[in-house]
């Protein structure tokens, strides 16, 4: 996480908002904002910690996937920057863009590569610097987001009992206009247009409706496909966008809110980074026990959504 904490009260000094408004509608109390670090810097920091935990050397890593929608460059990709920073010279490295579902999409993709036998391990990172794409003059969106990165190392092992069991992913491009961040339009000598960039745009209420419907649907489908009872799941780690979305999902699934850990109060919505950050915090606090069944679920721009069942 970037070190700089920005509280709701800090924001209230520069825009017409309040701690009460932000907290009551989202659960967010503060977020981290990076001043110097790029998406790749944050991603590489998380990658180093994940490698330390895994006991693997960077040079052993065969695949690096970075889920991000806020890269520093169109090219090279962020994963190549990470590869250079951590010295994982034997890895193939590429980015994957699925906004706030990005980490689930990347983990699913890495899992498929491992299942196919093409690679034996992968470093999967979710990293976003949302503070550079939100409009700091738009109080309805900028207060929601924060910067951060999280990472995991996965590797192939013959184990029926542990590891990633199954993931599912879905997309609905025709609903995509409710949450967008334009890159560049066709600016060239033929169109005569100047290169432009745009800020994040969001229709908050439409995104809210999409999330509270899609997340429970997709978790239910995952549990049905894997013949798992919802009561068997120790924790549901949902993308941290808004505590009300998470509460609504718990309610629709008829599950106690205690099964849905949250850290949104401290970080806001860190997009592709939110799920691995939460996973890491729980792991470091010793809250995850070997054999726990976890469901991870993400949702976001695209529209995209996805969920994954794993045994810790």
Q: Which residues bind ligand COA (CB under 6 A)?
A: 17, 21-22, 25-26, 100, 139-140, 143, 202, 204-205, 207-208, 241-242, 245, 269, 300
Minimum CB–partner distance for residue 247 and ligand COA (Å):
12
Just list the catalytic residues. 100, 239, 269
The DSSP letter of residue 151 is E
The DSSP letter of residue 204 is H
Give one word for 302, left, alpha or beta, with left for phi > 0 and alpha for psi -120 to 50: left
- Our CB check for ligand COA shows the closer of 20 and 157 to be 20
Minimum CB–partner distance for residue 67 and ligand COA (Å):
13
- Our CB check for ligand COA shows the closer of 148 and 300 to be 300
Minimum CB–partner distance for residue 167 and ligand COA (Å):
18
Which single residue brings its beta carbon nearest to ligand COA?
A: 204
- Our CB check for ligand COA shows the closer of 84 and 262 to be 262
- Our CB check for ligand COA shows the closer of 60 and 138 to be 138
- Do residues 42 and 149 make contact, with C-beta atoms less than 8 angstroms apart? yes
Minimum CB–partner distance for residue 145 and ligand COA (Å):
8
Minimum CB–partner distance for residue 295 and ligand COA (Å):
18
Give how far Cα 269 sits from Cα of 53, 107, 128, 243, 255, Å: 25, 19, 10, 10, 23
Largest Cα–Cα distance of the chain, in whole Å? 60
- Our CB check for ligand COA shows the closer of 18 and 54 to be 18
- Residue 145 forms beta bridges with which residues? 269
């Amino acid at each position: 996480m970037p070190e700089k904490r920005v509280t709701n009260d800090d924001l209230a000094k520069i825009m017409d908002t309040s701690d009460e408004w932000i907290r009551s509608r989202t659960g967010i109390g503060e977020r981290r904002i990076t001043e110097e670090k790029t998406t790749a810097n944050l991603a590489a920091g998380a990658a180093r910690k994940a490698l330390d935990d895994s006991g693997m050397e960077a040079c052993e890593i065969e695949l690096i996937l970075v889920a991000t929608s806020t890269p520093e460059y169109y090219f090279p990709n962020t994963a190549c920057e990470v590869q250079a920073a951590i010295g994982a010279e034997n890895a193939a490295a590429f980015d994957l863009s699925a906004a706030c579902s990005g980490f689930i999409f990347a983990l699913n993709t890495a899992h498929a590569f491992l299942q196919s036998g093409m690679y034996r391990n992968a470093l999967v990172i979710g990293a976003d610097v949302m503070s550079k794409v939100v409009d700091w003059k738009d109080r309805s969106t900028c207060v929601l987001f924060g910067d951060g990165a999280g990472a995991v190392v996965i590797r192939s092992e013959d184990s029926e009992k542990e590891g990633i069991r199954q993931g599912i992913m879905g997309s609905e491009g025709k609903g995509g206009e409710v949450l967008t961040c334009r890159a560049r339009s066709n600016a060239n000598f033929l169109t005569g247009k100047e290169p432009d960039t745009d800020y994040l745009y969001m229709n908050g209420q439409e995104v809210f409706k999409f999330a509270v419907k899609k997340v429970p649907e997709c978790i239910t489908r995952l549990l049905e496909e894997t013949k798992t009872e919802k009561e068997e799941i120790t924790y549901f780690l949902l993308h941290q966008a808004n505590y009300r979305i998470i509460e609504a999902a718990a309610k629709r699934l008829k599950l106690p809110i205690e099964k849905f850990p949250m850290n949104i109060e401290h970080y806001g919505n860190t997009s592709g980074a939110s799920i691995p950050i939460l996973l890491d915090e729980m792991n470091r606090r010793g809250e995850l026990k070997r054999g726990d069944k976890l469901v991870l679920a993400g949702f976001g721009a695209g529209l995209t959504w996805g969920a994954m069942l794993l045994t810790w």
